[in-house]
């Protein structure tokens, strides 16, 4: 069996320098997982994040040589990779390229070279958490549950019942927009917060009365209720739509007719409005 390197650190533990052009979390996770196979993973990890210059690499290699340690890295910029490998070889420091083999394998699989752009995992993580936050927001402020959310929303959807406010809110949430929605009912005064937000951040949803009547009748049937209920009464529907139109005109918000439109179609119109209005994409 080949004799291992002599550990000379003051803590008598192996020293591993993690060099990354991003945060270095991936390298640390892999190193800790691997080191757990040796004496319970008792290793001295020193993370060197956001490495973008050769001087930092020089200093790290020197420190690793002096501590009789090793280097593991996740840098994707070829120039810095090659420089690190060259310096490590010159100073006799063991070095492990954690991402290299995977990048090579994926290059073969995709038939193209990687982007070589640092921090893409972090960007993907940020995007994911923004989406989760937007979905949680849509659930919390669905159906007018808490008017305070209207002031924090990227967009507020208003309309009578069965104009697809909730599914549209969830669709937009998956696009990372914080959406609140408010049902408009003649007997319930619209929340004052609706008149406090910029008109362009509020979008009214209208619908053809006959189509709404059919949608509501079908809804009642699915619930095992009679289609003669006031909910699906045409006179009642016209009353609700008239009230909703008054509220929308008072706000001065844009209005989308959702008649015969799939949620995806309406969402496309909303997204176009938001982008033209300068909201974030």
Give the pLDDT of residue 122: 60
Greater confidence (3 vs 225) lies with 225
pLDDT for 55-70, tens place per residue? 999 999 999 999 999 9
Establish whether 78 is an annotated binding residue.
no
Distance, CA of 224 to CA of 209 (rounded, Å): 22
φ, ψ for residue 91, nearest 5 deg? -95, 5
List the end-to-end C-alpha distance of the chain, in Å, as a whole number: 59
In this prediction, residue 245 has a pLDDT band, given cuts at 50, 70 and 90, of: very high
pLDDT for 104-130, tens place per residue? 888 888 888 877 776 666 665 677 788
pLDDT at 10 > cutoff 50? no
Share of the chain above pLDDT 70, in %: 89
pLDDT at 225 > cutoff 60? yes
Domains of the chain: 15-118 (3.40.50), 126-276 (3.40.50)
Neighbours of 118 (CB within 10 A): 20
Note whether 51 and 80 are within 8 A (CB): yes
Greater confidence (277 vs 213) lies with 213
Distance, CA of 63 to CA of 205 (rounded, Å): 64
Q: Which two tokens stand for residue 151?
A: 């002031």
pLDDT for 169-204, tens place per residue? 999 999 999 999 999 999 999 999 999 999 999 999
Establish whether 165 is an annotated binding residue.
yes
Establish whether 164 is an annotated binding residue.
yes
Distance, CA of 82 to CA of 93 (rounded, Å): 14
Distance, CA of 141 to CA of 150 (rounded, Å): 8
Give the pLDDT of residue 118: 65
Establish whether 166 is an annotated binding residue.
yes
In this prediction, residue 43 has a pLDDT band, given cuts at 50, 70 and 90, of: confident
Give the pLDDT of residue 181: 97
Greater confidence (6 vs 175) lies with 175
Distance, CA of 202 to CA of 111 (rounded, Å): 46
Positions of E strands within 88-150: 95-97
Greater confidence (263 vs 224) lies with 263
Distance, CA of 66 to CA of 73 (rounded, Å): 18
pLDDT at 280 > cutoff 60? no
pLDDT at 11 > cutoff 70? no
Tell me the whole-structure pTM to 2 decimals. 0.60
178 CB-contact burial (10 Å; exposed 0-12 / middle 13-18 / buried 19+) = buried
Give the pLDDT of residue 86: 95
Establish whether 163 is an annotated binding residue.
yes
Give the DSSP H/E element, type plus range, for residue 125.
Answer: helix 120-140
Establish whether 9 is an annotated binding residue.
no
């Amino acid at each position: 069996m080949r004799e291992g390197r002599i550990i000379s650190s003051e803590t008598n533990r192996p020293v591993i320098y993690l060099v990354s052009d991003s945060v270095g979390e991936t390298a640390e996770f892999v190193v800790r997982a691997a080191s757990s196979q040796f004496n319970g993973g008792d290793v001295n990890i020193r993370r060197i994040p956001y490495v973008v210059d050769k001087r930092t690499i020089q200093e790290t290699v020197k420190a690793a040589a002096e501590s009789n340690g090793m280097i593991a890295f996740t840098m994707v910029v070829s120039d810095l990779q090659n420089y690190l490998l060259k310096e490590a070889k010159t100073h006799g420091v063991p070095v492990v390229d954690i991402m290299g083999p995977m990048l090579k394998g994926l290059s073969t699989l995709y038939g193209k070279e990687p982007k070589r752009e640092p921090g893409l995992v972090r960007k993907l993580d940020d995007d994911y958490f923004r989406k989760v936050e937007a979905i949680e927001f849509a659930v919390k402020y669905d159906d007018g549950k808490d008017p305070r959310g209207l002031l924090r929303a990227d967009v507020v959807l208003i309309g009578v019942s069965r104009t697809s406010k909730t599914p549209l809110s969830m669709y937009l949430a998956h696009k990372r927009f914080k959406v609140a929605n408010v049902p408009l009912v003649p007997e319930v005064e619209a929340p004052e917060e609706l008149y406090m937000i910029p008109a362009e951040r509020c979008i009214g949803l209208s619908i053809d009365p006959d189509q709404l009547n059919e949608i509501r009748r079908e809804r009642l049937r699915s619930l095992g209720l009679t289609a003669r209920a006031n909910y699906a009464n045409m006179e009642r529907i016209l009353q609700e739509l008239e009230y909703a139109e008054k509220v929308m005109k008072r706000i001065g918000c844009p209005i989308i007719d959702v008649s015969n439109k799939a949620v995806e179609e309406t969402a496309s119109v909303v997204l176009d409005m938001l982008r033209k209005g300068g909201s974030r994409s």
